[in-house]
Structure 1
Amino acid sequence: MPRTLDLMAPEVRANPYPLYAELRHTGIRQVEPGGMWAVSRYEDVVAVMKDPRRFSSAGLGQGFLPPWLPRNPVTESLVMKDPPVHTRLRGRVSRAFGPAALAALEPRIRALAEQLTEQLLLQQGPVDFMARFALHLPVSVLGLLFGLEPQQYPRLKEWADDLVNLPAGRHSPEEQVRVRESLASLERCFAELIQTRRESPGDDLVSELLRPDTDGSVLSQEEIMSFLFALLPAGVETTVYLLANTLAVLSERPEERARVLADRSLIPRLLEEVLRYEPPGHSSLRLVTEETELSGVHLPRGAIVVVLLAAALRDEGHFPQADQFLIDRERASHLAFGHGVHYCLGAMLARLEARLGLEALFSRLQDFSRTSDPLHWAPSLIARGPLALPLQLIPAPPLR
């Protein structure tokens, strides 16, 4: 009888890659939590993600609406819809993340990154990069996008964490009460914001979502609400963990760190390899809509598939020397932002934020290193990043 494999076991959350390698070797099989079917090989992951008819994104909703949570608007978002509903909603909101919108945001993001760098370097001794930089940049950018008041920004990460940690499925009764109250307060915040923008439109994302499309159609209140709920964890967690994972990876590799600090043109290549080697997004869920077979394994109708993106990104059959971190790796199509119709809408924004953040930071650093404190990782099935990242920073000498 095969041993039970638990994706949420503490030792797996601390380092999931040995288990991912085992799953790639053994093939598709059931795992905990919940007896989900784990898909870990690159080709199988691609097959699932490009086939919404057999592997429905409605499967995500089951993980985000446990029995103790009466309502969660994210379950009605485009992330959890299949074509043609997904196609209509995605087409309607995608222009808010196009090149023109990002070009308008770039100077504001750069200014935020430079301000955060300045504040970071004022700290004496070791600093928590997560708390002082990685968290603040994407939260502030999302706050700008939403049109929120700055005093509301700090709660965004708390709300994002509560959403992204739901599929882990291990909340104490006290935690269940807190999460219910947290998500109810998030919905009140967004409802007030939508109403304010109905009465007084601005140049923010919510105002854009309220405007009629070229054919006169409009998004409903529920469609806007569900999209904002979905965008929050995607917009916060992805970039927070991409920044933190990049610094964590470089802190263990002095030669690569020296190269990038000396040549900031390497930052885009660096980020692509971090997205492959230590991605912020580790898995997604799908619902099997009909009895089917995948790589010789029978999957019953109604089964939940956990698509292990991070496992596929270490598949030696697709990435030579997959367990090595290589900045100069030839860029190959990877899955860090998903695949197919559900490819992440905010991928360009996440890359932009991370690039501008690292450019600002590395322009002011001579070197950095991790302290001896062990890393503790977020207790999430969906996303992976450190809860804290203590660093010792060595500022670059001032230019003469």
Structure 2
Amino acid sequence: MSPEFRANPYPLYAALRRDAPVVQVDPGGLWAVSRYEDVMHILKTPKVYTVAGLRLAADPPWIGRNPFADSMLFVDDPKYHGRLRGAVSRPFLPASLSRLEPALRATAEACTQRVLERRRADFIEDFALPLPASALGTLLGLDPSLNPRLKEWSDGIVAISASQPGDTEQIAQCKRIVAEMEQYLGELIARRRAAPTEDLVSELLQARGEESLTDPEIMGFLFVLLVAGLETTLHLVGHSVRILAEQPGLLARLRADLSLIPAFLEEVLRFEPPVQATMRLCTQEVTLAGVTVPQGSVVMALMASALRDERYTPDAEHFRLERKGPHNLGFGHGMHFCLGAPLARLEARVALESLLPRCAALTPGPEPLAWNVSMTVRGVRSLPLEIHPA
């Protein structure tokens, strides 16, 4: 959690892959696993490495109650997980995304106009945040005035995993945010039950049969949707634009050929994945990279390290637009592959398709970047940039 590590974790990841691919680290004696082969083994073997480990990070004893930890993100049982996932999958299907795209594009155009007029902007606040917030607002029928609270809520939930018993101020804030979210979403569910509208909450409440969810199951899904739906896209867009500001030649290539944007985003997901790690609980004693890990241990699968593993990706420490091959670890793997991955990719593509034709250059601000606090998600809190119109 040190500022130095948050600013650049990759040298330590490289050292771990080379010298200690499975090793205990602070906080809490987690077993960090850094090589691609071992990370994939963990993600592909849920009976041995259960998401109960991730639940321990999201639902520590001091939090009291966290509906986020009651969602499908923390369910390994294939039948139960499949029922929950199937019930909420419609908004992420191609037909639904195509209907959502015009609204996303309108938001992206408005954000582009805003940052071009200001010339100097915090790209997170002025662009990367409004885009996924608008998508969530459209799906759930939320008022745009809620957008700042969405970011505060999301920051608070992802900070739970990094909060230690002595962090009294941060713990109090996390508890407050969980309570605020639960109260707001509980009231939203009650309003939609009394007066349904054309949104996802109403649809979930009206579902019957296999797709019917209980109120606690709906609450858990809404927690995940608001947090994961905001964090993944916000940081994907933030990382993308930061890389373009740092590499003007890359920006020029994309401006000259917008069809390169999807390939660029896939390399961003490999090179700077918003979700850096996930945690699993060992249901038995295991041996990884020659190291014995006791039953009951929590392993931290460092997906961001795995994606830079030289054994898997040649020249992995460099950003290569021409790189071939799937790098879907940025969205997880197996049954817990991110349900919202198509939406996040769409939002990021639309953002760049709107911005790049009208932006000749991006100049990073002089201020040092401030990074978020989380064991699993990494991104900047703000991104000061000077935007040069084309």
Query: Does the alignment reach a TM-score above 0.5?
Result: yes
Residue 230 (structure 2) pairs with residue 236 (structure 1): yes
The 5 Å alignment of 1:129-168 reads 129-168=123-162
- After TM superposition, the score normalised by the length of structure 1 is 0.94
Output the CA distance in 2 between the equivalents of 1:327 and 1:333. 13
CA deviation string 1:11-31 (max 9, x = no partner): 111110011111111211111
Q: CA deviation at 1:339?
A: 0.5
1:51 maps to 2:45 = yes
1:192 to 2:187 alignment: yes
Deviations 1:88-130 (A, max 9, x none): 2112212221111111111110111111111111114x21111
The offset of 1:242, in angstroms, is: 0.6
Q: Does structure 2 conserve the Cα–Cα contact (< 8 Å) formed by 1:261 and 1:367?
A: no
Q: State yes or no: 1:351 paired with 2:345.
A: yes
* Partner residue, 1:210: 205
Contact kept? 2:307, 2:327, Cα under 8 Å: no
**C-alpha separation in 1, matches of 2:362 and 2:72:** 41
Is 1:91 equivalent to 2:76 in the alignment? no
* Paired letter, 1:256: L
Q: Which moves more between the two structures, 88-97 or 38-47?
A: 88-97
Q: Which residue, out of 101, 108, 116, partners 1:113? A: 108
Query: Is 1:323 the equivalent of 2:323?
Result: no
Counterpart pick for 2:66 among 58, 66, 72: 72
CA contact (8 A) 2:86 2:211 kept: no
Mark the runs of 5 or more structure 2 residues left unpaired by the alignment.
Answer: none
The structure with the greater share of residues assigned to helix is 2
2:27 matched to 1:38? no
Equivalent-residue separation in structure 1 for 2:299 and 2:63 (angstroms): 22
Q: Could you tell me which residue of structure 2 aligns to residue 4 of structure 1?
A: none
SS in 1 for 2:275: coil
**Which of 4, 14, 18 is equivalent to 2:7?**
14
1:352-367 equivalent positions in 2, closer than 5 A: 352-367=346-361
- The structural deviation recorded for 1:66 is 2.2
Given residue 46 of structure 1, which amino acid in structure 2 is its aligned partner? Answer: M
Q: Using the TM superposition, give the Cα deviation of residue 221 of structure 1 relative to its aligned residue in structure 2, in angstroms.
A: 0.4
1:16 alignment partner AA: P
Q: 1:304: which partner in 2? A: 298
Give the C-alpha shift of residue 52 in structure 1: 0.8
1:295 is aligned to: 289
Conserved in 1, the CA contact under 8 Å of 2:156 and 2:173?
A: no
SS at match of 2:330: coil
Partner of 1:23: 16
Task: State the Cα deviation string for residues 48-101 of structure 1 (Å, max 9, x = none).
Answer: 011110000111111112232110001111000102321221122122211111
CA distance in 2, matches of 1:60, 1:179: 17
**Residues 57, 286 of structure 1: 8 Å contact kept:** yes
- Aligned AA (2:146): Q
Q: For residues 235 and 189 of structure 1, what CA distance do their matches in structure 2 show?
A: 17
The 8 Å contact of residues 157 and 177 in structure 2, kept in 1 or not, is answered as no
CA distance in 1, matches of 2:294, 2:88: 34
* 1:148 and 1:193 in contact (8 A); partners too: no
Say if 1:282 and 1:310, in contact at 8 Å, map to a contact too. yes
Secondary structure (helix, strand or coil) at the match of 2:278 reads: strand
Separation in 2, partners of 1:131, 1:173: 27
Q: Which residue of 2 aligns with 1:387?
A: 381
- Alignment pair present for 1:271 and 2:237: no
Aligned residues: 387
Secondary structure of 1:391's aligned partner: strand
- Picking from 87, 97, 120, the partner of 1:102 is 97
Give the alignment partner of residue 259 of structure 1, picking from 253, 268, 274.
253
Query: Which digits, 9 at most, give the CA deviation of each residue in 1:261-313, with x for residues without a partner?
Result: 22211111111111100111101111111222223221212111111110001
Equivalents in 1 of 2:211, 2:36: separation in Å? Answer: 39
Q: Secondary structure at the match of 2:213?
A: coil
Q: Distance in 1 between matches of 2:361 and 2:210?
A: 54
Q: CA deviation at 1:217?
A: 5.2
Residue 183 of structure 1: CA displacement?
1.1
Amino acid at match of 1:24: R
* Structure 1 gaps, min length 5: 1-7
Cα distance, 1:216 vs structure 2: 5.7
Q: Which residue of 2 aligns with 1:174?
A: 169
Please report how far the alpha carbon of residue 362 of structure 1 lies from its aligned counterpart in structure 2 after TM superposition.
0.9
TM-score by length of 2: 0.96
Deviation at 1:169, TM superposition (A): 2.2
Partner of 2:325, secondary structure, is coil
